[in-house]
Structure 1
């Protein structure tokens, strides 16, 4: 099963402590993220949908298969989503070990919510870029929200197929002014042309 570029990210939490799982599910839901939690590695391996974009927040020490052992198993299976380790027993050697095998981050308990949210946000973006070569939909929508009213007007008219001259006539602006505004829009969206904007919006399912 393949995933789509506009599919919402899924945050997987694997931790044997129920209180920790509940707290993390609540924290991530407050950020608007889909979250699913598992009490152990076995239930995660049995029930997770590996094709779903997102990341894994994983406790290091658990009964049965440890987080470190799960990391190795996921590596063997070709699991590509970033892994953020949590540990109340962490030390420098353990952190280096997990990072050596591809962990995205290592965060000690007690967890600082702001640091974890930041790490998850970065992991989601990294996974999205790895899967699609595109920034997440939420990031593009955030960039669009930072456009001025005039820039949005020009972008919308340009996307409808109007030339710079035609957009200028509609808005009572010179063609050079339209070009300058569009250049600012392209820089904000990290694209080089209206054609690229069309392709980006189509892949992410964005409409102005």
Structure 2
């Protein structure tokens, strides 16, 4: 039933599937494993909660309707316990309203059955990236972009080159500035971006560039 042991390396994302349909569970496990994801499946919410999987980093794929504990009830129980991993709901047509309500309560996405494999794999990749940023203490991409938008044009140019790994002297030469001016722009940008060093700034820049909505150009 499982394609991975949830007791493995805690830093490797684990895709958890909770669905009472064994054929769908097997199909999802196969599809995810073919794409290189580690995945594990459970037939119901109760068995999932008894496992070590709830606290693992990664993503949870939940069927909205299941015998016993529903996906909605499981999602709310996980939030009550403080688990913040992204949740993707699988819904039949009649469950859309419930899924939308769970989006308001913090779920990441919902997908209608029958599933579109490309949409599912895309949602999983985006959710894994979101979980990674959360664990690293990074803010949502909307906030990251708002911080970057607050930079003056020259600060933006400096930070863009800094994110490429360039040193102050190289940045100064490329932009026709003095090193002291580059340092001043860099210090001002750090304050607006709320970062302490070049590594943190580069991580924010990369998160904004690679998000699904398209990046900063």
The answer to whether the superposition gives a TM-score over 0.5 is: yes
Determine the C-alpha separation between the residues in 2 that align with 1:78 and 1:23.
30
- Provide the C-alpha distance between the structure 1 equivalents of 2:200 and 2:133, rounded to a whole number of angstroms: 18
SS of corresponding position for 2:11: coil
Quote the RMSD (CA, aligned, Å). Answer: 3.4
Counterpart residue number, 2:28:
24
Call closer, same or farther: CA 1:198–1:23 in 2, change over 3 Å. Answer: same
1:56-71 equivalences under 5 Å are 56-71=60-75
Q: What is the TM-score normalised by the length of structure 1?
A: 0.62
Distance apart, 1:105 and its partner CA: 0.5
Q: Would you say the 8 A contact 2:64–2:95 is kept in 1?
A: no
The reply on whether 1:123 has 2:122 as its aligned counterpart is: no
| Match status 1:133 vs 2:137 | yes
CA distance in 2 between partners of 1:32 and 1:48 (Å):
21
Whether the 8 Å CA contact 2:60–2:86 is kept in 1: the answer is: yes
Cα–Cα, structure 1 residues 90 and 56, in superposed 2: closer, same or farther, change >3 Å? Answer: farther
Over 4 Å off, 4+ runs: 162-165, 197-201
The yes-or-no answer on 1:41 pairing with 2:51 is: no
| Alpha carbons 1:11, 1:54 under 8 Å: kept | yes
Structure 1 counterpart of 2:79: 75
Instruction: Output one character per residue of 1:44-67: Cα deviation in whole Å (capped at 9) or x when no partner.
Output: 000033332101000011111111
Structure 2: gaps (5+ residues): 1-8, 140-163, 175-196, 204-217
Is the CA contact 1:90–1:108 (under 8 Å) kept in the aligned structure 2?
A: no
What is the distance in 1 between the residues matched to 2:63 and 2:54?
18
Mapped pair 1:108 → 2:106: no
- 1:73 alignment partner, SS class: helix
TM-score by length of 2: 0.60
Aligned position for 1:55: 59
User: How many equivalent pairs are there?
Assistant: 157
**Residues 64/91 of structure 1: CA separation in 2 closer, same or farther (3 Å cut):** closer
SS of 2:68's equivalent?
A: coil
Q: 2: distance between equivalents of 1:47 and 1:92? A: 28
Distance 1:198 1:63, change over 3 A: closer
Structure showing greater relative contact order (alpha-carbon pairs closer than 8 Å, 6 or more residues apart): 1
Shift of 1:197: 4.7
Q: Distance in 2 between matches of 1:98 and 1:40?
A: 19
Do 2:17 and 2:41's aligned partners in 1 also have CA atoms closer than 8 Å?
yes
Summarize deviations over 1:125-146 as a string: whole Å, max 9, x none.
11111111369xxxxxxxxxxx
